Amino acid sequence: MKLRLNISLLYLLVAGLLAVSCDFEPVRLAEPNEKIRPMAAYLKNNYEFSLFSAALEYTGLEDELNQGGPYTIFVPTNRAFNELGINRPEDFQTNNRDSLRTAIRYHILKRRLNVDNDIALGSTDNLFETIDGPPLYISRDETPASYNRTFVNGIQIQRKNLETSNGVLHSIDAVFKYQNSTIQSYLESQEKFSCLRAGLKKFGLWDQLKDEKPQTIVAPNNNAFKKNGISLEDINKMSPDKYGQRLFAAYIFPLSFFMKDFNLYPSVGIGYYAGAPLRYPVPGDEHYTYGIAADHNNIFIMLSKYNDYPIIRDLPINQKSKRDYLLNNGVLHEIEEMLILPSESLKP
C-alpha cells in the first residue's frame, strides 16, 4: 500500500512539472554573434585564418585592427600561406618585420566594402586605395548573381562579406604580391632572373621595362634555362644577328593583366588558340604569334597562320604563388620553362 502511494505521488509530481513547463518559453542558449567582435579578435578565433592572425601579432597590427575602423581586409587562408612555405606562426620570424608589415597592410582598406553592394556586375579594375596608398584592382563578372565571382588583383574571393564590429572580411586563397618598383627594377633585384635579364639586355628589350606604360612580362627563371642546358655565359655569348626577336620578345605583352582577368571576358573566336583572349605578332618577328590561350592559363607561341598550327610551345602559368606580381608599371608572372629555344629561333 505504501509503495503504491509513493508511485502515485511520483506520477503527480511529473505531471505537475510537465504542466508548469508548458507555461514558459523554452530556454535557448544565445548563439555567438561574430559581428560584435572586432577584426583581429574575429581572426584570432577562426582557425582558417590563424596564420594571418599570427602575422598581425608579429607585425604589431593586431591592436590597430581591434580599434577604430571601419576596415576591409582581404584575408589569405592558411593554405595560401602554406603555398609560400609558411606553415606555422614561427615561420614568420624569418621575415623582416617591417617588410611583412607593409605586405600585410596591402591587404587592408580604410573603409567598409561589401562586394555585392559596392562593386558593379561586369565592372573591371575598380581601384581602391589600401591604408598605405597603393591600390587594389577589383573586378566582378557578369554572370547571374548566384554564380558571380569577384577578383582582387587577379585572386578570386572565396568567402565574402564576413561582418565584424568594425569592418568586413573577405577570404582569398593567395597572398597579394606587390612591389613598389618597375618591372625592370624588380628583375634587377632578383638573382633568379639573371639569365632572362641578360637576354633582354642583349636583344635590346631591357629599357622598355622601366617605361610608365602598362605591360606584363611572363618571366622564365634561371631553372627554365638550366633545364635546357643554357647558362648565363651562353646568353652573354649570343649574337642577336643570328636569332629572331621571338627568343626573348615573346615574353613581353604591351598591356597589364592578371591571369584571372580573362575569366571576365568572352572568347573572341572558336578554338584553343583562335579563341585566345590575347594574341599578338612578335614585334620585329611578325611571322610568329604569341598570346594567352583560351583556357586562360597558358602562354603559347606559334607560326602566324590562320589555323591553330604549327604550335611551337604551350606553357602553363598556373602556380598561384608565382604569378600576379603587381609592380608600378605592370605585372609579372614567373614560369619554370622557356617558351622558345635558341635552336627554334635561328634566322634562315
d(CA 313, CA 299): 8
> Do residues 120 and 168 share a domain?
yes
Which structural domain range is residue 183 located in? Answer: 179-344
Q: How far are the Cα atoms of 20, 44, 124 from residue 275, in angstroms, in the given order?
A: 74, 46, 21
Show the 3-state SS of 120-137.
CCCCCCEEEEECCCCEEE
79: cell is 593554405
278: cell is 590575347
Alpha helices (H) along 207-326: 222-227, 232-236, 246-249
The model carries a pTM of: 0.85
> Do residues 277 and 303 share a domain?
yes
Q: Are 162 and 310 in contact (CB under 8 A)?
A: no
Helix, strand, coil proportions of the chain in percent (round to 5)?
A: 35, 25, 40
Q: How many domains does the chain have?
A: 2
**Secondary structure (3-state) at 7:** helix
How would you write the pLDDT of the chain (348 residues) with one tens digit per residue? Answer: 433 334 343 343 334 433 434 444 444 444 445 567 899 999 999 999 999 999 999 999 999 999 888 999 999 999 999 999 999 999 999 999 999 999 999 999 999 999 999 999 888 999 999 999 899 999 998 876 667 799 999 999 999 999 999 999 999 999 999 999 999 999 999 999 999 999 999 999 999 999 999 999 999 999 999 999 999 999 999 999 999 999 999 999 999 999 988 888 766 666 677 778 899 999 999 999 999 987 788 999 999 875 556 889 999 998 889 999 999 999 999 999 999 999 999 999
Looking up residue 247, the CATH number of its domain turns out to be 2.30.180.10
Q: Are 251 and 217 in contact (CB under 8 A)?
A: yes
Alpha helices (H) along 46-137: 50-59, 62-65, 78-82, 97-105, 115-118
> Do residues 184 and 326 share a domain?
yes
Handedness of CA 128, 129, 130, 135 (dihedral sign): positive
> Do residues 150 and 213 share a domain?
no
